Amino acid sequence: ASAQAVVDELITRVRELSQDLRPAMLDDLGLLPSLLWYFERYAAQSGAQVTFEHAGLDRRFDPSIETAAYRMVQEALANVARHAGTIEVTVRAWADQDSLRLQVQDQGCGFEPDRALADSACGGLIAMDERARLLGGQLTIESAPGLGTRVTAEFPLSTGIGGAQEA
């Protein structure tokens, strides 16, 4: 391959990576359209079926909350694709005046959360937990071998950091 072809391929990969980390759509349209777009892309790439249930997402949230929520769902779905051994996953997202909650649940192989969080190789779980705590929220991981996994993040909206914004 020519040097130009290699450079073009690298540019394309960097753009895709950048888009995956934080799509411009998140800034322009908000969390709900960005999640819907991501689920379509995830399903096309992984062959998984994503069931999405949501309420109260028809408004904008603080950009830091939207980014953390998007990245949490993205990381949890990546873990499903890599480790769960299932192609069915349910994502729930709901917001009220006080908080935004997101949940990713699968009926895959499951694991031992305490062991995984203690393993430095499980950086995605640790990053999700840190991201939630930095915004005053919390991450809960419920799982057991053979019983699937449910990851739930809650972000407070009543603080200055996560307050709802006018659309």
- pTM strictly above 0.75: yes
pLDDT of residue 158: 75
Percent of the chain at pLDDT above 90? 59
pLDDT tier for residue 163 given thresholds of 50, 70 and 90: very low
63 Cβ neighbours under 8 A, 6+ residues apart = 26, 27
The average confidence (pLDDT) of the chain is 86
42 Cβ neighbours under 8 A, 6+ residues apart = 48, 50, 77, 81
Which is nearest to 61 in space by CA: 15, 21, 102? 102
More confidently predicted of 20 and 62: 62
Q: What CATH number does domain 3-165 carry, 3.30.70.590, 3.30.360.10, 3.30.565.10, 3.40.710.10? A: 3.30.565.10
Dump pLDDT digits (tens) for 57-80: 999 999 999 999 999 999 999 989
pLDDT of residue 49: 94
pLDDT of residue 167: 41
Percent of the chain at pLDDT above 70? 85
Which is nearest to 149 in space by CA: 86, 105, 116, 91? 105
pLDDT tier for residue 105 given thresholds of 50, 70 and 90: very high
pLDDT of residue 71: 93
Q: Tell me the domain boundaries of the chain.
A: 3-165
Please say if the pLDDT value at position 165 is more than 60: no
φ, ψ for residue 162 (rounded to 5)? -105, 10
> In this structure, are residues 112 and 144 in contact, taking their beta carbons and an 8 Å threshold?
yes
d(CA 85, CA 2): 39
More confidently predicted of 112 and 33: 33
pLDDT of residue 135: 95
Instruction: Give me the amino acid identity at 156.
Output: P
Dump pLDDT digits (tens) for 119-156: 766 678 888 999 999 999 999 999 999 899 999 999 99
d(CA 163, CA 8): 41
